[in-house]
Amino acid sequence: MRYYPRRAQYHLSRSHHPSSRYPPWFSTMSPTLPPELFDETIDHLWDDSTALQACSLTCRAWLPSSRLHLFRTVRLRNADDCTRFTALLTAVPSVGHYVRKLSLSAEYDGVDSEGGARENDGWVNAAAPLLTRLTGISSLGIARVRWGALLPETHAAFFALFRTVRTLFLFEVKFSASRDVLDFLSAFPVLDELYFQGVSWAHDSPPPLEDDSPSDLVPAVLMSQDRMQLTHLFLDPRSSPTLVTEWLLGHPSEQRLRTIQLCWHDLDNTKPVRDLLHASGASLETLQVEFPPGIAEDAVLQDHLSLAHNTGLRSLHFGGLNVNTLHSFLSTRLFPWVTAMLAQIRSTRLEEVSFALEIASVGDLRALDWARIDAELSRDVFHGLAVLFYVSCAREAPEKDVRDEITRRLAGFQQRGSLCISCI
């Protein structure tokens, strides 16, 4: 006699026809998949809001994963956005726990009495109550907002939000004074990445700016620099990057930068660049630099742009090389700081060097010091290095001719590394 598991033993009944393939209890069972499979499936829809909304309405089990992606990033651009999101948080308070990235971006609304752009940022004050409901913000973006024009209670709500922010984007934010900028930055105790673009202030504060006494607007507990460990820094020329650089250098605990994106147009003062590169030391892995064509001769002669201390450097990018720009340098070649920086690289981990060039004709390429560039890139320590050229070509510069010219100029390097040329 053949024995079956107890669950498989059953008796025929009037409701079960002998020809049926399955026992009667099978029809009452539904196949169940592990919840992890549903979560992973929903994760693949992270950027499809329509699909995520459909998933959130399918069943209760799918709601948390759907909300995780639907509300992970919130962008507020005007008073209507603020009103709608406030109403949502009032109806479903748990939504606030899913928000990780918050962006408040005002728009310009005409011009002011002095002919400058006028920000329509009055609605930001109305966002203060909802900021207190967002307890897990890790990335914050603020654009086209006059920080000094906000109400004190709005400042307080922002400062409470800053406690968890690790990535900060500032775009065309206006402050009253330079000290206000430093107080603002000092209010982020766990900041990891800083993007500082188009930030301005009405006047410079009297020295000493290095005074660490807390501002009346900034809670003293947030002024501590013990935990802030910046690893990524982006500075553009419109923000007067000297202020931020000198502030960073005043706090030794922050010198663990792994990535620096630096557009420096302050021709009269490149010493902070030297100090920043020196302080970053072996921690620096990626460096993107853009300097003006008329950079001071002293910057090269005094090693203000030296990479000798950055022994962990892996990637180096030279941007904004407009070869068609008139120049007056200590050499007859354009951009002597490029070759000077290449010559002082001491990293044995360098994997990639890239150049972003702008030319009007193939003849413009001859203005570069190709002999020295080829010699520096051909050093034995750079064996296996990848060199990339991104060339913005005018119609008078056929792509084939550009490729041929650069390839011919770097004949020595090609015996040791790989060369890639892209015309855009």
Q: pTM for the complete prediction?
A: 0.81
Instruction: Give the pLDDT mean for 106-131.
Output: 85
Is 45 among the domain residues? yes
- Model confidence at 65, pLDDT cuts 50, 70, 90, reads confident
> Which structural domain, as residue segments, surrounds residue 60?
34-70
- Averaging pLDDT over each range in 14-23, 38-47, 193-202, which range is the top one? 193-202
pLDDT at 182 over 80: yes
Please count the other Cβ atoms lying within 10 Å of the Cβ belonging to residue 218.
19
pLDDT at 10 over 90: no
- Model confidence at 6, pLDDT cuts 50, 70, 90, reads very low
pLDDT, residue 29, reads 52
Domain count, the chain: 1
Distance CA 20, CA 335 (A): 84
Could you tell me which residue, 3 or 399, shows the higher pLDDT? 399
Distance CA 260, CA 246 (A): 15
Instruction: Give the pLDDT mean for 169-177.
Output: 95
Is 47 among the domain residues? yes
Is 202 among the domain residues? no
Distance CA 21, CA 134 (A): 55
Q: Which residues contact 66 (CB under 8 A, 6 or more apart)?
A: 42, 52, 53, 55, 56
Q: Could you tell me the CA-to-CA distances from 25 to 10, 28, 193, 332 in Å, in that order?
A: 9, 6, 58, 90
Is 49 among the domain residues? yes
pLDDT at 297 over 60: no
pLDDT at 215 over 70: no
Q: Could you tell me the CA-to-CA distances from 351 to 88, 261, 314, 383, 405 in Å, in that order?
A: 49, 18, 5, 9, 24
Peptide bond connecting 189 to the previous residue in cis, omega within 30 degrees of 0:
no
pLDDT > 90 in the chain, percent:
48
Encoding tokens for residue 375? 């010699």
pLDDT at 328 over 50: no
- Averaging pLDDT over each range in 164-168, 232-236, 337-341, 380-384, which range is the top one? 164-168
pLDDT at 164 over 90: yes
**DSSP, res 268:** T
Is 340 among the domain residues? no
Is 44 among the domain residues? yes
Cβ burial of 42 (10 Å; 0-12, 13-18, 19+) is buried
Distance CA 336, CA 162 (A): 42
- Model confidence at 306, pLDDT cuts 50, 70, 90, reads confident
Is 132 among the domain residues? no
pLDDT, residue 390, reads 95
pLDDT at 208 over 60: no
pLDDT at 332 over 50: no
Alpha helices for 220-328 (secondary structure H): 241-249, 271-280, 297-301
Is 347 among the domain residues? no
Lowest-pLDDT choice from 121-125, 290-294, 353-357: 290-294
Encoding tokens for residue 364? 């413009």
